[in-house]
Structure 1
Amino acid sequence: MEQLSCSASKNDHPKWGFTDLVRWKTLPSTLGGGRAYIQRFKDAWVKQNKNAIRAAATREGFPPELLAGVCWIEVGGDPNSIDRIAFEVRTFDWSGPPLVDKQTVTSLPTKTSFGSVSMQLRTAAHTMGIDPAKMSSAQLRQLANCLQQDVFNINTVARHLRQLIDHDKLQQTRPLLGMEQVRIVGARYNRGISLSLDQIKKNMSYGNFIVNFWPRFSRLLN
């Protein structure tokens, strides 16, 4: 795998950390915690990154509100440090010979998610045209570090959404995308590429959320 270029993909927006997690989970809204706290963080993150979101969506040829919606849903939750710990534990657990690895109970390291917009390493690798099974631990760490840079993270998510749109042949004219198509690609992002379109349509709650809050995402991008 070639050296990934992501060192310039930084911004000044703070990362979601343990303090945020505790405040969200333990403090009532009257003391500045609860659901309102994480929603304010999500709003601020999308607004801070609106230029990168618009640029990535324009480059990939779909409405920026779709990308903003995915970002809004995924931002926050588990701190990045938890993902790093999970990755190192899984990497150690899967470092033995094949006979030993068959007895391993942890998930594959490539199933670890990284980035403010949470994305599994294997998904990011496939999106970039790389076979994750052929990546070394050092290369996976490099990819993880890049995903933790917001602009690289946003660009990779946008590229993945483009591939999902094409997978289901949802778009006739760029950058136009109907709300029904948004529901499908949102659900596909959440539920994966392996399901049939009929299976996807049985549960489109993720995509429905994006459609229902489309005006909110539009405001955050302005």
Structure 2
Amino acid sequence: MKNNNLPKSRFCSIPPTKFRKWDEIDAILWRVGKNDAQGFSGDFYLNAYKDAYVQYNRDKIIHYANAAGIRPDLLAGVAWIESGGMPENFKFQVFEVKRMIPWLRKPVEKTSFGSVATQIRVAAVTLGLDPSELTTRDQLDLATCLMEDDFNLQVSANYLRDNFLYDYPDSPSLYMTDEQYMMVGIRYNRGVQRSRDDFLKIIKRAPMKGTDDYNFISYGVRLLEIRPHIRLLLKE
């Protein structure tokens, strides 16, 4: 019987069937084309791609979210926000620039890969590895795995759960309040360097869009805004 999984690294196996990656042509149609309500250019084109990504990977999103103990719409919302944008093959070029020009002080382990943009460092920590001990080959192997939806979604789901537990260790991750839902998104985007109270103070002030305070929490706000749409995409 033919094996449907093609091993590409020591961290994962890569299925031959996958969702089409966002490329240079997509980026041109998005950035250069005017907004077309039929979905052929501009932001409509980008949003149509995001919708298609979530719908195509619906079963995987539900599976990995359930395995991590989080709501599927949270994982799907992050996937929707992150998919599209920079052509995915460019991310390897970004990695090489960081590696070859160390004086830029851009750590290679903070390079993001995959449709659900995930840093090499995050993938390593999620797998129980020390990012500082990874060789360049290890980093590229993890990057290759992150380009695959199964691995990418699994790592992202676990990372979202860990971010939730960082702030709310005694709360059930399947029953998040709106505030908690936003905080998980903010942590996904901003990390854990700032205290939870710093973010909550800004959330409570409900800053105007376009202000520095709003930009600081915008990822979490956006997650909450698109949640009804995401839940529709996840329906059969």
TM-score, with normalisation over the residues of structure 2? 0.84
- Matched residues in 1 for 2:17 and 2:180: separation? 31
Offset of residue 106 of structure 1 = 4.5
Map of 1:4 onto structure 2:
11
CA contact (8 A) 1:87 1:112 kept: yes
CA contact (8 A) 1:188 1:200 kept: no
TM-score, with normalisation over the residues of structure 1? 0.89
Instruction: Verify: 1:25 aligned to 2:31, yes or no.
Output: yes
- Matched residues in 2 for 1:167 and 1:174: separation? 11
Letter in 2 for 1:6: S
- Matched residues in 1 for 2:180 and 2:17: separation? 31
Bigger relative contact order, structure 1 or 2 (CA pairs below 8 A, ≥6 apart): 1
Unaligned 5+ runs, structure 2: 1-8, 203-215
- Matched residues in 2 for 1:90 and 1:27: separation? 31
Map of 1:210 onto structure 2:
223
Map of 1:82 onto structure 2:
90
Map of 1:56 onto structure 2:
64
Letter in 2 for 1:145: T
CA contact (8 A) 1:187 1:205 kept: yes
Cα deviations by residue, 1:44-99 (Å, 9 ceiling, x for unpaired): 000000101001111111111111110000001111121101112222234xxxxx
CA contact (8 A) 2:50 2:84 kept: yes
Cα deviations by residue, 1:99-118 (Å, 9 ceiling, x for unpaired): xxxxx125121121110111
Map of 1:47 onto structure 2:
55
Cα deviations by residue, 1:161-219 (Å, 9 ceiling, x for unpaired): 01001100166235222221101111111111111102233242211111122110001
SS in 1 for 2:20: coil
- Matched residues in 1 for 2:135 and 2:233: separation? 39
Aligned match for 2:78, one of 70, 75, 82: 70
- Matched residues in 2 for 1:200 and 1:145: separation? 34
Map of 2:149 onto structure 1:
150
- Matched residues in 2 for 1:34 and 1:171: separation? 43
Offset of residue 124 of structure 1 = 1.6
Letter in 2 for 1:53: I
CA contact (8 A) 1:191 1:200 kept: no
* CA separation of 1:220 and 1:136: change in aligned 2, threshold 3 A: same
- Matched residues in 1 for 2:31 and 2:218: separation? 23
The answer to which of 142-151 and 199-208 deviates more is 199-208
CA contact (8 A) 2:98 2:104 kept: no
- Matched residues in 1 for 2:188 and 2:118: separation? 10
Alpha-carbon RMSD across the aligned residues, in angstroms, is: 1.7
- Matched residues in 1 for 2:159 and 2:170: separation? 15
Letter in 2 for 1:123: V
Map of 2:161 onto structure 1:
162
Corresponding pairs, count:
211
- Matched residues in 2 for 1:186 and 1:170: separation? 16
* CA separation of 1:167 and 1:81: change in aligned 2, threshold 3 A: same
Unaligned 5+ runs, structure 1: 95-103
